[in-house]
A and B are shown apart, each in its own frame.
Chain A
């Protein structure tokens, strides 16, 4: 009997592991990735030709690797990663770097944090912090295992149980189980629609009415909780009615029946209200579902949306007509595999294009040049922590590092101006940001001569000043210095004996960290 149980366990475990294995084996050389990326290239090339626009040439490989690391882990590549990158044959470097990033826990953690902002917000009320953290871990695990995106969303929307046991239900608890905010979140996060706006103004491109919104809200109308956690009841949805955790009842006479505003055929008749909603949301015949996440992942990689509006407002016009659908169709065909989607985007010609030269806003809009965008606060903080260490700082690193990174990131994001849930839209640098970077503690700590930071490490390394300058540029900019730059900094370091060398190195690091090149993605 015991052996049978073990055998079953082995089979089950194997079954659970399979999707992950399959996904991780499917590297960027996968023909499905190349094919999908080519389709995007083709679509964009037609748009460039139509606009008589000359696309920029490809960027340096290391620079593209930097973009990948910033987008997928929220930090610049480490010296260690740069060395690994350069040790590979030319044609394999970017693909290998991408594979490594996507397989890392850092990627899952970073993307989970970014997505959690969309799904449950950034609330910092004490009782929510633990639920939120549980939710982020759950999301990170799901991403790490390569679970299909539609599957994760069904867990969030239709899940029942305790928040500790089924962390996906914190999507529900984060909104206190209230139908109206849940509907607002769901339509924005999963469909890229601001249906809730339709209540108060006429949207120029849509025709949604308040009844459409309330019909959707009715799917969330029966949520309650008991000792077993979040449950579904038969209670009808009454707008303005009982709020689960407030315990206040202001009954109005009319209850609303659950109804979807479009793609009616995708709504199943069986199951709980939330199961039906989840099935409808994630149905391949609901065109918005894939488009919404495609736009998010594109924005994660490019710092710029595919539409001319907020990332969750897909009813605004596209920058490049039809591109969203080209990518979304492939994403659906590939089983909602987020890592596949990221690989495709990272393999496009547009992603690997230079930002150099006389680039116009129009060119950036059509992705005929890689758009230059400011890094998010957590990307700056992550990069500052990373550049202090030649080795890759990640979840497996020393516990101390994780603490340091968590604490610093939070405080820094606050000072620097947290981007919150919003994607940065054509943002510019602010004076406060410059003050924090020039005079603030977090930068100073990272460059002060010391055992655990960049200047200290560079001072102790047994190398000439030219190589020190090279290393500093690689750590901060992921490139080597130009001749002018190398000459300048070598001259700055040269007159200093060992004792003052650290201070001179510290000043060089300060200059690097305060440059546009450090705090902008380019």
Chain B
């Protein structure tokens, strides 16, 4: 039961599943790597804005965190993000995000979809909406990939599982369920058997079988199993220096894989960094997390620019909410949806600026930005009209995002 290489599998089992491919071309055209693309770096748990993008040194709420200069005069970041600071002229920072959801699940569903969770309808996430709006012709690998996400908050929602993300873990590990379990000869035998069964079933139920798309999806899954594009997941193929730049961490490798996937035409990649729920020991924990976040975020920004992907790709980095200005008794900070930060860049986003400001205490931020506005800005940044409507299954027309894009952030 030795695992076989992708290339030998390609040559050997073509005949066995030719039937499955049926009318489809045996080799789909590779996806054209153009069109809008989205990369979301989700900082799961609710990152402290004060230790990342909105430091307040010298104030009681600021704690021991120091601030450093960035490539944009007058804008400072927390000391844990020196590499990101260098890239800031390409990034736009919102410091006045306001959400109504202070629970992890609800907060995540809100930020990831742009719609507050409600019991009547499950909303698709940004990546699902984008994949639905801008399908990739002839894609051999999924157009929406989620890396390292321990939750299932990202979903196709009312658009269905067709546009749900394909999930992978640490890109260093092989992608799950993508390798046949048996030798070429046995795989061929399995597919021959499957062919006999499918022919019989389809013969008896021609119409319903076709509608099920089962055979078509089997063929496409087999195509994916032998796709050259799977190599995009293999970050170990990158030069040592590049890997080192992103950081030798699962998240670093995730961001590197994201760049490789965007290069082959994947519409949306999400990479999740967990651990930001720092109710206890906030300062130690966030400084460790920043060591992981900073090189990955900065390298991704730099490489997307170097490789001419930046103008087509919108980057979003942030969490479901921020953390309390007040420091609790366990040196931690608690949930705070009333004024947190979100980083944007790429596409039509104009970098090198800050929108909104939090105060010296718990007061409401200046120029508050809603989650709906954030999501509308993401779509506008991708060159899409956020008011484009999709009809949900309950007959209710829904916009891509239910807010006004932030004109100031757009070119």
Contacts and interface: CB of A to CB of B under 8 A. Distances in A.
Contacts of B142: 431-432
A406 to B, nearest CB: 18
Given A511-B197, A522-B205, 9 more contacts: A197-B394, A201-B396, A309-B394, A415-B176, A417-B161, A418-B152, A431-B220, A431-B224, A514-B218
Interface in A410-466: 414-415, 417-418, 420, 422, 425, 427-436, 438-441, 444
Contacts of A492: 189, 193
Contacts of A360: 207
A433 B220 CA distance: 11
B120 A435 contact: no
Interface stretch (B53-61, B180-188, B278-286): B180-188
Contact of A431 (B209, B217, B393): B217
Interface stretch (A103-111, A181-189, A257-265): A181-189
Q: Contact residue range for chain B?
A: 35 or more
Nearest to B105: A125
21 contacts: A188-B120, A194-B120, A196-B118, A197-B394, A360-B207, A418-B152, A425-B393, A428-B162, A430-B217, A431-B217, A434-B218, A439-B179, A484-B196, A503-B186, A507-B186, A507-B190, A508-B193, A510-B190, A511-B191, A520-B212, A522-B205
A429 B190 CA distance: 20
Interface in B159-195: 160-162, 164, 166, 176-182, 186, 189-194
Nearest to B194: A511
A485 B198 CA distance: 10
Contacts of B160: 427
Given A181-B119, A372-B208, A439 B181 contact: yes
B196 A485 contact: yes
A438 B218 contact: yes
A488 B193 contact: yes
Contact of A444 (B105, B181, B191): B181
Given A355-B208, A439-B180, A517-B197, A433 B119 contact: no
Interface string B304-323: 00000000000000000000
B410 interface: no
Contacts of A515: 194, 197-198, 201
Given A359-B207, A372-B205, A503-B186, A428 B217 contact: yes
A374 B189 contact: no
A357 B212 CA distance: 15
Nearest to B196: A488
Interface in A332-357: 355-357
B120 A184 contact: yes
A507 B195 CA distance: 13
B162 A430 contact: yes
Given A196-B119, A360-B207, A482-B200, A313 B394 contact: yes
Interface in B122-166: 122, 142, 152, 160-162, 164, 166
Contacts of A196: 118-120
Nearest to A204: B395
A256 interface: no
Contacts of A270: none
A204 B119 CA distance: 20
Give the interface SS of chain B, mostly helix, strand, loop or mixed: helix
A436 B214 contact: no
Contacts of B201: 515-517
Contact of A185 (B119, B181, B196, B209): B119
B206 interface: yes
A508 B196 CA distance: 11
A309 B177 CA distance: 34
Contacts of B212: 372, 374, 428-429, 516, 520
A309 B161 contact: no
A196 B201 CA distance: 43
Nearest to B213: A428
Contacts of B192: 488, 511
B234 to A, nearest CB: 17
A430 B196 CA distance: 21
Pick from B120, B152, B202, B222 the residue with the most CB of A within 10 Å: B120
Contacts of B224: 431, 435
A310 B394 contact: yes
A444 B177 CA distance: 11
A81 to B, nearest CB: 22
A111 B240 CA distance: 55
Nearest to A438: B221
A429 B179 contact: no
A519 interface: yes
Contacts of B221: 431, 434-435, 438
Pick from B182, B197, B215 the residue with the most CB of A within 10 Å: B197
A355 B181 CA distance: 33
Contact of B198 (A357, A439, A484, A516): A516
A234 interface: no
Contacts of B193: 488-489, 492, 507-508, 510-512
A408 interface: no
B7 interface: no
Contacts of A197: 120, 394, 396
B204 interface: yes
A430 B221 CA distance: 9
